[in-house]
């Protein structure tokens, strides 16, 4: 009889722990915290650039890794299919105004993502995708001081 009680308590603890972990992950997601170390580094470097009043952002310097292409990925646009990789990528930017999402795609089609909103420097949508050497953004003349906007260098 004692064994059954301890097994029941153990089962209850397991489910309570699982519910707590799921609740914390949901809260982490709702607060907009990064999903990976690479995204955290990207957002940190982006914050430093904002604090230093940067006029240009080289995405190759902000996102570590061997990616070869960066694409806008916002929930308003839905999934993105790229024939080059034969894959469809789910949106990473939240479905909110002033929010942005970027996917950094490696040669094998795997990707890293970064997303944010006006809490971080604003990034206006890239027109589609950019190759890594062309992934340079310049500060737009418009935009608020607390939320500067950056656009693709070629579209300015």
**How confident is the model at residue 67, as a pLDDT?**
96
* Consecutive 10-residue averages of pLDDT for the chain (156 residues): 59 81 64 73 87 89 92 87 95 80 94 80 69 89 71 68
Q: How far apart are CA 78 and CA 55, in angstroms?
A: 30
pLDDT of residue 68: 97
pLDDT at position 123: 64
pTM reported for the whole predicted model: 0.74
Residue 153 pLDDT: 77
Tokens coding 39: 């995204």
Q: Is 32 left (phi over 0), alpha (psi -120 to 50) or beta?
A: left
d(CA 25, CA 81): 28
Euclidean distance between CA atoms 33 and 44, whole angstroms: 12
What is the 3 state secondary structure string of 64-112? CCCCCEEEECEHHHCCEEECCCCEEECCCECCCCCCEEEEEECCCCCEE
């Amino acid at each position: 009889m004692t064994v059954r009680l301890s097994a029941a308590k153990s089962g209850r603890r397991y489910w309570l722990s699982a519910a707590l972990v799921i609740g914390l992950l949901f809260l982490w997601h709702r607060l907009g915290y990064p999903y990976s170390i690479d995204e955290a580094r990207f957002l940190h470097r982006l914050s430093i650039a904002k604090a230093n009043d940067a006029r240009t952002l080289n995405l190759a310097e902000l996102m570590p890794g061997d990616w070869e292409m960066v694409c806008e990925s916002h929930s308003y646009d839905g999934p993105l299919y790229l024939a080059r990789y034969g894959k469809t990528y789910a949106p990473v930017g939240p479905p909110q105004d002033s929010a942005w999402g970027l996917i950094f795609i490696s040669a094998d089609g795997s990707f890293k993502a970064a997303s944010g909103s006006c809490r971080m420097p604003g990034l206006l949508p890239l027109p589609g995708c950019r190759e890594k050497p062309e992934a340079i953004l310049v500060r737009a003349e418009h935009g608020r001081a607390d939320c500067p906007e950056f656009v693709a260098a070629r579209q300015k």
